[in-house]
Chains A and B, each alone.
Chain A
Amino acid sequence: GAVVSQHPSWVICKSGTSVKIECRSLDFQATTMFWYRQFPKQSLMLMATSNEGSKATYEQGVEKDKFLINHASLTLSTLTVTSAHPEDSSFYICSASFHRPLQETQYFGPGTRLLVL
């Protein structure tokens, strides 16, 4: 149980285009989903926390207009990188936690590698 999928796993795009990444909890309902990015040889950096049916909470320094997050259902959250630039190239990982009080274990998706040319 507790499987999280991400799609796509790899994306290469031209500078200026927008890219959408999907995160799905496959066998459980996730009230909360999290989006991280990770640069080579660095730890995970939380970008935003997304609760189903409400606006995402962004971490300091993360532009909410650039990284649009939608959490429309208990099993799906999307991250859209708008007008992507080469500096947005990174490994984007989502995670989800159970729809249960005090359940803080996060289960991670396999990640999406974004390369912006």
Chain B
Amino acid sequence: EDKVVQSPLSLVVHEGDTVTLNCSYEVTNFRSLLWYKQEKKAPTFLFMLTSSGIEKKSGRLSSILDKKELFSILNITATQTGDSAIYLCAVVGQGAQKLVFGQGTRLTINP
């Protein structure tokens, strides 16, 4: 059965800190890994990763995938209070339509 495990489950840091969120997975015939940010409502798309070693970047957020070790990290630099959210990692396998989500990491940025 496909499985996604995120760590830590919860993280509290001060504004300006850099954080690294982890996502490890087991999936049959991996196709892609996606990161989402969920605030009070539904998740918003951040990144989709399909190739190993290629960093995707958007402002202060970046993510990279390691297909050999079956994990991905999401980095946020110079964190702001608006980064407080639940960050969800999900994977999809070849031929599959559905996303398998991890439990999420609840990130809290204190001023």
Whether A associates with B in a native complex is yes
CA distance A96 to B44 in the complex (A): 12
Q: Is A54 an interface residue (CB 8 A)?
A: no
Looking at chain B's contact residues, the main secondary structure is: strand
Chain B 23-44 interface 0/1 with A at a Cβ cutoff of 8 Å (1 = within): 0000000011010100001111
Among A94-117, those with CB < 8 Å from B are: 95, 97, 102, 104-111
Q: Is the CB of A105 within 8 A of B34?
A: yes
Tell me the nearest residue of chain B to A2, going by C-beta.
B45
CA distance A97 to B36 in the complex (A): 15
CA distance A5 to B87 in the complex (A): 21
The listed residue (B31, B41, B98) touching A49 by CB distance below 8 A is B98
**Nearest chain A CB to B84's CB is how many angstroms away?**
15
Contacts of A104 in B (CB 8 A): 31-32, 34, 48, 92, 97, 99
Q: Is the CB of A108 within 8 A of B98?
A: no
**Nearest chain A CB to B101's CB is how many angstroms away?**
5
Q: Is A34 an interface residue (CB 8 A)?
A: yes
Q: Is the CB of A49 within 8 A of B97?
A: yes
Q: How large is the interface on A (under 10, 10 to 19, 20 to 34, 35 or more residues)?
A: 20 to 34
The listed residue (B31, B42, B103) touching A108 by CB distance below 8 A is B42
CA distance A111 to B34 in the complex (A): 19
**Nearest chain B CB to A5's CB is how many angstroms away?**
11
Q: Is the CB of B42 within 8 A of A110?
A: yes
User: Provided the pairs A104-B32, A107-B45 are in contact, do residues A43 and B99 lie with their beta carbons within 8 angstroms?
Assistant: no
Q: Is A25 an interface residue (CB 8 A)?
A: no
CA distance A109 to B45 in the complex (A): 11
CA distance A95 to B42 in the complex (A): 9
Contacts of A111 in B (CB 8 A): 41-42
Residues of A with Cβ closer than 8 Å to B? 2, 6, 32, 34, 41-44, 46, 49, 93, 95, 97, 102, 104-111
Identify 11 new A-B residue pairs, CB closer than 8 A, beyond the known A104-B31, A111-B41: A2-B45, A41-B106, A43-B103, A44-B88, A46-B98, A93-B42, A95-B42, A104-B34, A104-B97, A106-B34, A108-B36
